[in-house]
């Protein structure tokens, strides 16, 4: 069905309410399809579980189980008939399913690309479980998941991995092989799960399918291409994931409802965002509360690991104001320091402050996308330059957040970050330019999993960069992830790097082990 606005609407300016009315009308039309065909037996000679299984967003008594039926994932429609299909699911204590804990049936619909999101409730706290799906005569791979500890308990340890930025064209997903051996409780993916660019733009290690993605089918196929990677597929089955997006899940350096590129039709921009958000929901193990409404999707949410860690998962893309200084590296001038600049938006910021005030956890974590450290990236003290796409471009809100956590004595704030394809460990102050201020929080920035190719151990201006930025305690430019071991007494961050990603078979080793003790945000060697 083609759609175009009347000429008068273009002349009078974009009416967001009109777009949302149109989008909601499409949703109502799509969901009006009869469910009668769900009773027809599903049979396929091809495996409908090629995209694997996943779990995510666990709490102390429930978890999301995910799969998506697709016999031809890289084709529109995924090779599945456009009808409702019953999918059975099972949860067991052991990998052989000798004792079933819970089971049921979920109807997979063509409107959601036959994705399955089962929110299994009534589970025991702090327990590992196994799960699988059946569709007709086909059985899925077995996945492993867990619940969080009960809210009132103080666990001895939480072990999780932090990663981001996995450009398919620029490297193999080698690090996931070691991550699977690390036996983590959770995986945090902080954005750029896919890249939207056309085939060949980013490299020749592997090649994307098609042009820059725009349509819903485009986004579905791109997600499927990534999920078919066997190491990524296996890591999803090994432990529950908590995910958030950055920009490449939709469009590079997007800012709220503003495109990076000038002259983009706002109707087309939000229509494309609706496609990206729907495909993201379809492909991620997230709860129904995150289901998009047209071009809007609430992804910020909270997760608790007993009283040991409170995780606040943020969205720093959908609600932000436009990047200042035309998104060019700049000094912290009036534009970057303006009170009108917001990364979080009013509603999300209020939600975050309330959660921090209510927290009774030992550690309080902001799991988010872009670097919060006010890092002079060129190391020139006389003419400093900061990224306007990161928190320095929103310095007033950033400094207010640091001041809030300091003045309210928020317990052990830690920021987890992705985005910039390199490792950082930063001690965060209200104003990082004031080296004599006491640190308020700690930031661990995870490098990319594959984006940027092999990378190097250190930039040529490392000494200059460290000298100009007293807040930076570690910096590295290789690929990998951070393995975090958190106890009531300390937090250890193990920066794991891969010697090469442009060829398969790279080796993952520990590049640096850093520790933060409870009660102090200062970073030390482990």
pLDDT at 521 over 50: yes
DSSP conformation class of 435: T
CATH code for the structural domain at 158-525: 3.60.21.70
**Cα torsion through 335, 336, 338, 342, rounded to 10:** 120
- Alpha carbon separation from 489 to 158, 182, 410, 522 (Å, rounded): 12, 21, 16, 14
Give the rounded percent of residues in the chain with a pLDDT score beyond 90: 90
Burial class (CB in 10 A: 0-12, 13-18, 19+), 211: exposed
**Tens digits of per-residue pLDDT, 127-143?**
999 999 999 999 999 99
Q: What tokens does 490 get? A: 């300390």
Is pLDDT at 21 greater than 80 in this prediction? no
**Through-space distance between the first and last CA atoms of the chain, rounded to whole angstroms:** 60
Q: How many CA within 13 A on the CB side of residue 179?
A: 34
In Å, how far from its chain's centre is CA 334? Answer: 31
How does residue 32 score in pLDDT terms, banded at 50, 70 and 90?
very low
Which pLDDT belongs to residue 409? 98
Domain 53-146, CATH class in plain words = mainly beta
Closest CA to 65 of 128, 149, 131: 131
> Which CA distances in Å does 274 have to 19, 268, 359?
10, 10, 34
At residue 75, φ and ψ (nearest 5 deg) are: -120, 150
Span of 1-5, 156-160, 193-197, 446-450 with lowest mean pLDDT:
1-5
CB contact set of 85 (below 8 Å; sequence gap of 6+): 38, 42, 69, 107, 108, 114, 135, 136
- The pLDDT-based confidence of 44 (bands split at 50, 70, 90) is confident
What does the DSSP assignment read for 186-222?
EEEE-S-SS--PPTTSS-SSS---SSS--SHHHHHHH
Q: Which residue has the tokens 């004031």?
A: 434
Per-residue HEC secondary structure of 60-103 comes to CCCEEEEEECECCCCCCCCCCCCCCEEEEEEEECCCCCCCEEEE
Inter-residue contact 98 to 141 (CB < 8 Å): no
């Amino acid at each position: 069905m083609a759609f175009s606005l009347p000429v008068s609407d273009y002349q009078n300016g974009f009416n967001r309410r009109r777009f949302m009315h149109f989008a909601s009308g499409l949703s109502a039309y799509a969901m009006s399809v009869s469910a009668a065909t769900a009773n027809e037996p599903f049979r396929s000679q091809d495996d409908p579980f090629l995209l694997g299984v996943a779990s995510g967003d666990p709490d102390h008594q429930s978890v999301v189980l995910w799969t998506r039926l697709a016999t031809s994932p890289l084709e529109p429609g995924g090779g599945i008939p456009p009808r409702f299909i019953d999918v059975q699911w099972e949860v067991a204590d052991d990998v052989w399913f000798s004792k079933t804990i819970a089971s049921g049936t979920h109807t997979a619909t063509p409107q959601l690309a036959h994705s399955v999101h089962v929110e299994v409730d009534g589970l025991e706290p702090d327990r590992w479980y196994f799960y699988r799906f059946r569709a007709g005569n086909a059985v899925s791979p077995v996945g492993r998941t867990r619940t969080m500890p009960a809210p009132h308990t103080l666990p001895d340890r939480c072990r999780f991995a932090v990663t981001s930025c996995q450009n398919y064209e620029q490297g193999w997903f080698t690090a996931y092989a070691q991550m699977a051996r690390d036996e983590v409780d959770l995986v945090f993916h902080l954005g750029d799960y896919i890249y939207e660019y056309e085939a060949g733009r980013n490299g020749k290690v592997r090649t994307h399918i098609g042009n820059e993605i725009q349509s819903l089918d485009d986004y579905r196929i791109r997600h499927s291409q990534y999920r078919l990677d066997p190491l990524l597929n296996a890591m999803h089955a090994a432990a529950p994931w908590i995910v958030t997006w950055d920009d490449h899940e939709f469009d590079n350096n997007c800012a709220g409802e503003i495109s990076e590129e000038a002259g983009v039709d706002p109707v087309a921009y939000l229509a494309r965002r609706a496609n990206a958000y729907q495909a993201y929901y379809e492909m991620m193990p997230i709860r129904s509360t995150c289901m998009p409404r047209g071009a809007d999707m609430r992804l910020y949410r909270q997760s608790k690991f007993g009283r040991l860690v409170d995780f606040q998962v943020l969205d720093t893309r959908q609600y932000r104001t436009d990047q200042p200084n035309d998104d060019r590296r700049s000094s912290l001038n009036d534009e970057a320091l303006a009170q009108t600049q917001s990364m979080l938006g009013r509603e999300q910021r209020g939600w975050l402050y309330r959660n921090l005030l209510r927290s009774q956890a030992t550690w309080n974590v902001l799991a988010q996308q872009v670097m919060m450290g006010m890092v002079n990236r060129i190391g020139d003290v006389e003419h400093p330059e900061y990224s306007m796409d990161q928190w320095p471009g929103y310095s007033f809100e950033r400094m207010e957040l640091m001041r809030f956590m300091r003045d309210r004595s928020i317990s052990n704030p830690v920021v987890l970050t992705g985005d910039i394809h390199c490792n950082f460990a930063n001690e965060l102050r209200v104003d990082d330019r004031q080296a004599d201020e006491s640190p308020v929080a700690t930031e661990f920035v995870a490098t990319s999993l594959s984006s940027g190719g092999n990378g190097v151990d250190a930039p040529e201006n490392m000494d200059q960069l460290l000298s100009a930025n007293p807040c930076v305690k570690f910096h590295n430019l290789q690929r990998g992830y951070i393995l975090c071991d958190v106890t009531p007494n300390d937090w250890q961050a193990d920066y794991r790097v891969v010697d090469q990603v442009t060829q398969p078979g790279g080796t993952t080793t520990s590049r640096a082990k850093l520790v933060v003790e409870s009660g102090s945000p200062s970073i030390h060697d482990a």
